């Protein structure tokens, strides 16, 4: 499987740390030093499906693939305005595709899970092109009075078009059922028959526990894909990590003893955009012509579950 096109889309509203300190007991200094985030793009008057459509359209253009030539659409998404139908089905109509489509919720690791599913589809089906769109609005999950969560997130969408090939060399996925450090529960519609307590509320996060789980799982997954391909850390040109906290990225980089330039990041501009963060970063590197043919990339993400995954791939796009 090869990545032949990338795209992304951001909401128009920029919210800086200074703007947050106008209504929260926080500061640019705290947010910058603890997370690396300076600003984020937040949904205000947009709909997530429109961001997904923009990212998908750009990825298709970049790949030179027409929407009607797509054989499958996979959307990675945690929440959006529709409970049903799926975001991928809404998107299918908006871009003018006619392929089957499915959504998955792999939390912030959703892009790696989607890559793995796409890879299996190429092996099991007679298909040519798959579109993955990761579209997320985590800023609608948090309580905007809670400074420990709301400052971390941003909204956005990232997309890739995939075709047959040998570029994806290894994928490792892990999942451990451990919701306590990071979860959100919501009340469903009432029925006359419900007689149980129903939890409801914003995202709950034990930051330090998530930090440790993230570092541990990412290190293990990276080691796993590198070992599987008989490579060393030095053989990898770029490590694209989920953009959750610059300190998580730095801790992993220090363990791997690799140069800072190998860990591109954009968390300072967008915050944590959940599963969209890696495809957005990949699109930036692709469009800025930073990736050379033959470069080896490791993608690594982690999130609520606790789920995680890494992918090692060769870049062959000109
Ligand atoms: O995609 C996965 C999603 N989540 C993550 O990846 C999160 C992983 N965890 C983290 O990134 C970090 O744990 C955080 C950035 C969330 C927090 O950083 P920390 O260094 O672990 O800080 P802390 O939670 O230990 O809090 C230190 C202090 C506390 O005050 P006290 O108890 O020491 O007086 C917090 O109340 O910082 C306070 N604090 C803040 N202060 C100013 C927490 N949030 C803020 C804030 N502004 N926004």
- Cα(11)–Cα(276) distance, integer angstroms: 13
Q: Where does the chain hold its CATH 3.40.47.10 domain(s)? A: 2-166, 170-314
| 186-204: average pLDDT | 95
Cβ atoms 151, 31 nearer than 8 A: yes
Q: Given 242, 245, 286, 311, which residue is catalytic?
A: 242
Q: Is pLDDT above 90 for 150? A: yes
- Going by pLDDT thresholds of 50, 70 and 90, the confidence category of residue 199 is very high
- Going by pLDDT thresholds of 50, 70 and 90, the confidence category of residue 138 is very high
Ligand 1 atom closest to residue 208's alpha carbon, by position in its atom list: 13
| 83-101: average pLDDT | 98
Shortest-distance Cα residue to atom 2 of ligand 1:
303
> Which pTM value belongs to this model?
0.97
Q: Is 208's C-beta closer than 6 angstroms to any atom of ligand 1? A: yes
How far does the centroid of ligand 1 lie from the alpha carbon of residue 34, in Å?
7
What fold, for 170-314? Peroxisomal Thiolase; Chain A, domain 1 (3.40.47)
One-character DSSP codes across 137-152: -GGGTS-TT-HHHHTT
Q: Is pLDDT above 90 for 60? A: yes
Residues 6+ apart with CB under 8 A from 143: 149, 150, 201, 202, 203
Domain over 2-166 is classified CATH 3.40.47.10: yes
- Going by pLDDT thresholds of 50, 70 and 90, the confidence category of residue 42 is very high
Q: Is pLDDT above 90 for 111? A: yes
- The number of beta carbons lying within 10 Å of the beta carbon of residue 195 is 6
Q: What are phi and psi of 57, to 5 degrees?
A: -60, -40
Residues β-bridged to residue 171: 311
Residues β-bridged to residue 309: 173, 301
| Residue 190 falls in the annotated catalytic set | no
Q: What are phi and psi of 300, to 5 degrees?
A: -145, 130
Give the CA angle between residues 275, 118, 165 to the nearest 5°. 115
Q: Is pLDDT above 90 for 318? A: no
Cβ atoms 117, 103 nearer than 8 A: no
pLDDT tens for 210-269 read 999 999 999 999 999 999 999 999 999 999 999 999 999 999 999 999 999 999 999 999
Q: At what angle do helices 246-256 and 207-228 cross, to 10 degrees?
A: 40
């Amino acid at each position: 499987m090869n990545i032949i096109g990338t795209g992304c889309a951001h909401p128009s509203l920029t919210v800086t740390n200074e703007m947050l300190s106008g209504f929260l007991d926080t500061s640019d200094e705290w947010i910058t030093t603890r997370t690396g985030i300076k600003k984020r793009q937040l949904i205000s008057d947009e709909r997530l499906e429109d961001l997904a459509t923009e990212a998908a359209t750009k990825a298709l253009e970049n790949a030179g693939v027409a929407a009607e030539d797509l054989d499958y659409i996979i959307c990675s998404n945690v929440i959006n305005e529709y409970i049903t139908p799926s975001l991928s089905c809404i998107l299918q109509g908006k871009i003018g595709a006619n392929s089957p489509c499915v959504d998955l919720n792999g939390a912030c690791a959703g892009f790696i899970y989607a890559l793995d599913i796409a890879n299996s589809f190429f092996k099991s089906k007679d298909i040519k092109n798959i579109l993955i769109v990761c579209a997320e609005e985590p800023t609608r999950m948090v309580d905007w009075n809670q400074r420990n969560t709301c400052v971390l997130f941003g909204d956005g969408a990232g997309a890739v078009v995939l075709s047959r090939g040998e570029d994806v060399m290894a994928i490792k996925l892990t999942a451990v059922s451990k919701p306590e450090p990071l979860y959100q529960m919501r009340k469903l519609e009432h029925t006359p028959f419900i007689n149980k307590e129903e939890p409801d509320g914003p995202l709950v996060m034990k930051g330090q526990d998530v930090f440790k789980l993230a570092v541990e799982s990412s290190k293990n997954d990276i080691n796993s894909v590198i070992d599987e391909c008989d490579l060393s850390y030095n053989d990898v040109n770029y490590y694209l990590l989920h953009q959750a906290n610059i300190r998580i990225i730095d801790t992993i980089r220090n363990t791997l003893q690799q140069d800072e330039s190998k860990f591109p990041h954009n968390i300072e501009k967008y915050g944590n955009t959940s599963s969209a963060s890696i495809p957005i970063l990949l699109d930036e590197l692709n469009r800025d012509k930073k990736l050379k043919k033959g470069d080896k990339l490791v993608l690594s993400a982690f999130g609520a579950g606790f789920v995680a995954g890494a992918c090692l791939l060769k870049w062959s796009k000109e």
